[in-house]
A and B are shown apart, each in its own frame.
Chain A
Amino acid sequence: MRHPKRTGRLSGPGRKVQLATAAMLLVATTMAACGDGKDDGATTSAPAAPATIPELTTDPLTLSFIWFEWPPAQALEAFANEEYKKERPNVTIKVNTVPNANWHDAMFTQFAARKTDFDIAILDSQHIGEAVTNGNILDITEFVKNNIEVDAYNPYLLAAYGQFPQAETGQRDENASLYGLPLLGDTWTMIYRKDLIGDEPPKTWDEMISVAEKCQADNPGVSGLAFHQANGSDAAAVTYNTVNGVYGGNLWDAKNRKIEGVLNDAAGQEAMDVLVNKMKPLTAKGSGNWFIDEVNAAVAQGKACIAFNWIAASGGLLDPKESTLGSTREQILDKLGFATLPSQKTDLVPLGGMGMHVSAYSAKDNQAEALNFMKWFERADIQKKWAAAGGVPSRTDALESPEFLNAGPFNQVYADSVPRMRDMWNVPEYARLVDIENTNVNAALNGAKSPQQALDDIAKEQQAVLDSSNRKGGGGL
């Protein structure tokens, strides 16, 4: 290393660094403070959408959605561009997709930025609380009153994808505000191998477990069960919640915001015991990080007797190119059956699917177009076409239509499941609640925690999140 001999009395930027640092600190504090000030005005309640659709533009316009990467996203884009263009030739539909694991973060970081590259957010039903509380999406209560035939829906479907505060299971509160409309209905279906366990699906959860056990014993190399166990998204959490519901447990006491003692009551403990000690031993080795795609792969490879998956994600199972079960759709359907979930103490099934929600930060023209799109989408004829295109509609007439029931072998399952649905907590703290549950259920499934310990930890940590609103610092740990 040679040392340059160049001299010259330079005071140099050394001192300047210190000065600049001081200045920056000042600016930082000021700017942060300013930022806060600005936030104050913009938050705490969702802005209202116009009750009637404003005049629409005739200029070319791109209506953007945000969803996660899966086949329904492509189906929606293709369907909307095909059909909506007939009414509005100047509009192009773009469905932006992000990885499922990044879905919540991608939407809410943009909401936090107060600038979104989407006009319609496709929120999970449990995201509504967070979005409404932060004022990220439009209140469309008046718009719905004037433009949507609410009587055409099962009230709970309308409530689940739009209402906040959250509706009680199976009901809709007509006085509550609405923030979204259903886009895609979904629930779990039981996928079973007709050639291995017979044509008749098991009726109760206990029966399902013993059938799976026998099937696994009779067919070496095939595991009895396949279901979601991963610690990301809402994978393991939905699995536990489903078993919890079936065995008569409750996730929380919504009125009193109580989780501790409710989730981990006797029914909750039994559910956890069934999941970890009876169901988990019937799954494939190393399946502890499985989610939608791995479960599908196991079924397509003929490696599972009974599997559980979201209906909207099951279409690929009938594709002979991806399957070893047969070389045509018919051959595959000879082996695969789709049924509603078995019941035990209750017949509850998990509510899946998503609604459409208008971003509060998108341009006025785009918001108007978004409302128009939603009104169009909820029309009886369009809902049937959406069903025929592979979507799952929400209007009762569309659900009962041959267009829907004949479009896929699992669609009857959905129609039968609608009255049985239960959702998770739809509160602003949802993301943290679901992470706590995911990681703990995943830990229990993979032997990192005892089932009892995991359940108690979930209840304790979730309760702490609900109670933490008034703590001085350290929130989020």
Chain B
Amino acid sequence: MAVSVDEAVSPGPTRQRRPATRRFGGGRGRSVVEVALLAVLAVVMLFPVLWMIETSIKENRDVYAVPAQFFGFTVTMDHFRDVFIAPGGGRSDLSVAFLNSVLVAGVSTTLATVLGVPAAWAYSRFAVKAKKDQLFFILSTRFMPPVVVVIPIFLMYRQVGLIDTKLGLILIYAAFNLPFTIWMMKGFVDEVPAEYEDAAMLDGYTRLQAFRRFTLPLLVPGIAATAVFALIFSWNEFVFAIFLTSSDEVRTAPPAIAGLIGGTTVDWGLVAAASVVFALPVLIFAYLVRKHLVAGVTLGAVRR
């Protein structure tokens, strides 16, 4: 019923437009092939995600079913309950890990932003000596293999008692996100004409005031986008987390989810549910900053 109503209401435009789009290229047949190819690729890319969601709402005996069951299984929300609630009642270890992740990712992102935005502004506005070298140095720290960095970080942390602490994770994540924040934000600052600040200073504002009152408000969307990317990096990070933390109270979600396998039984339904819960915030955030994705994923190096 609904379908026929829709068809009745909007028949014209799509049909009329078709000849126009056909004008260049090899005609309709080719277009169909392209759409089909795109559709196949989209299915291939999205299938694992759909399968993950499906597994998270299956009962365990259907999870292991051979051949795999695509439809017609009993839907259960038990796995999602298990993510948050321990078998005996009370808070599960996973939910504690999620809270830890929120805290660690949140604070480290804030720290990287507070340190990175002013630095990015200064690099953009002032003729700092050896600016290129400094910026190169800053970016190159981001490319260090984590497994290599973790060795001396481990030794350093043990001297100052930061092993297995949230503060330790926060500091290393902030340091890893800082290069990204500076590069990304420098791009945003470059886009704000310096003349705004010059004009303000002619009016008697100091440069700091000019930055705070005129430039900073214009940077807010950029800061938000940058912070979201930093948040995603910290949220997903695994290597530092697994080597620098060990107790349930400190552990973040990625090692906690990894810890779900390798016991005496593997509850793939629970793994899937935990993964869905864990991935959801990232996908929402990524959708919010979709305009800045290109800059975001290249550490602010490539912009449109």
A contacts, CB < 8 Å to B: 1-2, 4-8, 10-15, 17, 31-32, 35, 66, 68-71, 96-102, 105-106, 109-110, 112-115, 117, 232-233, 291-294, 296-297, 301, 313, 315-316, 321-322, 324
Contacts and interface: CB of A to CB of B under 8 A. Distances in A.
A112 B158 CA distance: 8
Contact of A109 (B125, B130, B246): B246
A13 B134 contact: yes
Contacts of A113: 154, 157-158, 163-164
Interface stretch (B17-25, B104-112, B261-269, B281-289): B261-269
Nearest to A312: B264
A11 B128 CA distance: 7
B163 A297 contact: no
22 contacts: A4-B190, A10-B127, A12-B126, A12-B127, A13-B128, A17-B134, A31-B159, A35-B159, A68-B263, A69-B262, A70-B263, A99-B258, A99-B261, A102-B255, A109-B246, A112-B158, A114-B158, A291-B262, A293-B262, A293-B263, A293-B264, A316-B264
Contacts of B130: 12, 14, 17
Contacts of A109: 154, 163, 243, 246
Contacts of B194: 4-6
A303 B279 CA distance: 34
Contacts of A291: 262
A11 to B, nearest CB: 6
Given A10-B127, A99-B255, 9 more contacts: A2-B193, A4-B126, A35-B159, A69-B259, A99-B258, A110-B163, A293-B265, A313-B264, A316-B265
B125 A6 contact: yes
Given A15-B129, A69-B262, A297 B246 contact: no
B129 A10 contact: yes
B265 A115 contact: no
Nearest to B86: A74
B248 to A, nearest CB: 6
Interface of B: 60-61, 64, 124-131, 133-134, 137, 154-155, 157-159, 161, 163-164, 190-191, 193-194, 242-243, 246-248, 255, 258-259, 261-266
B158 A115 contact: yes
Contacts of B64: 297, 301
Contacts of A97: 248, 259
Most chain A Cβ neighbours within 10 Å, of B161, B264, B266: B264
Contacts of A322: 60, 265
Contacts of B193: 2
B180 to A, nearest CB: 18
Contacts of A4: 124-127, 190, 194
Given A12-B130, A13-B128, A110-B246, A100 B60 contact: no
A297 B158 contact: no
Most chain B Cβ neighbours within 10 Å, of A69, A70, A301: A69
A112 B163 CA distance: 10
Nearest to B242: A102
A73 B120 CA distance: 50
Given A5-B194, A110-B246, A71 B264 contact: yes
Contacts of B155: 32, 35
Nearest to A21: B137
B207 to A, nearest CB: 9
Contacts of A6: 125-127, 194
A54 to B, nearest CB: 26
B297 to A, nearest CB: 19
A15 B128 CA distance: 11
A7 B127 CA distance: 6
Given A106-B246, A110-B246, A99 B262 contact: yes
Most chain A Cβ neighbours within 10 Å, of B130, B155, B194, B265: B265
A324 B65 CA distance: 11
Contacts of A8: 126-127
A324 B129 contact: no
A10 B264 contact: no
